[in-house]
Amino acid sequence: MSTPNRRAPRAAGRPLVLGHRGASADAPENTLAAFRLALAQGADGVELDVWRCRTGEVVVVHDEDTGRVAGPRFRVDATPLPELRALDVGAWKGERFRGERIPTLPEVLEALPGAVVNVELKSRGRDLRLAEAVARDVRRAGAEGRVIASSFDYRLVAAFRLAAPEVPVGLLFEPGHRWRLRTALAARLLGAAAVHPDASLVTPARAEAWRARGLAVNAWTVDAPEEVARLTGLGAAALISNLPGRTRAQVRALTGR
């Protein structure tokens, strides 16, 4: 499993800009409206979250239940797709988004041809079949060259590596006393193509060390102009932003690309 992964998606001379759950500052997160708006604003692609619902489909939603974005509270992994699809997950963000539905991963890949898609694997417990389902959907869409799969749960990353060794993986982590050893070991064992740190963890020394090991540095969540400038200067491969339009404009001003 330690065979090096396919190289993570990159742009020449600048970081990629990925809309965090789409253009989530302006549109309801993890919806087709948010993803399309991110691309319209100039993003290179999007970051999204996936679960496997009760009937086995891969659905795009962040939380383990639907209460925050829909009102009615259904646990995603215990609810069949038709019941999830009946929920309105757009109205909370504004009347013009009323009627937005929870999309499936195949629908997103079809709606965003050519866009980079960072798929974050999420599971309540250890649903390793999620990794297999995502691998299947990515292959059917012919999207192997533009997808990167990531997770905080490195068991899911390992399962995805086995299911789709041709698709790059990234390791998500945030501040905590155990991330250094855990992530370094996992990166070696899993042949990770990227690290996905909380932006506050990206220091000059760490950025240099990660790049020296051939790892792309994909930082989240990068909205503040000073952070965009700092991380661009440190050679980040991707900036995951709630404000992809503004972030992309700043990257263009900083790099000329």
Element (H, E) at 241: strand 238-241
62 given a catalytic annotation: yes
20 given a catalytic annotation: yes
Q: For residues 256 and 30, give the distance between their C-alpha atoms in angstroms, rounded to a whole number.
A: 30
The residue type at 77: D
Among the options 5, 9, 15, 20, which is catalytic?
20
Among the options 7, 62, 155, 206, which is catalytic?
62
For residue 252, how far is the Cα from the chain centroid?
22
Q: For residues 167 and 8, give the distance between their C-alpha atoms in angstroms, rounded to a whole number.
A: 8
Question: Do residues 116 and 9 make contact, with C-beta atoms less than 8 angstroms apart?
Answer: yes
For residue 211, how far is the Cα from the chain centroid?
20
Give the active site residues.
Answer: 20, 62
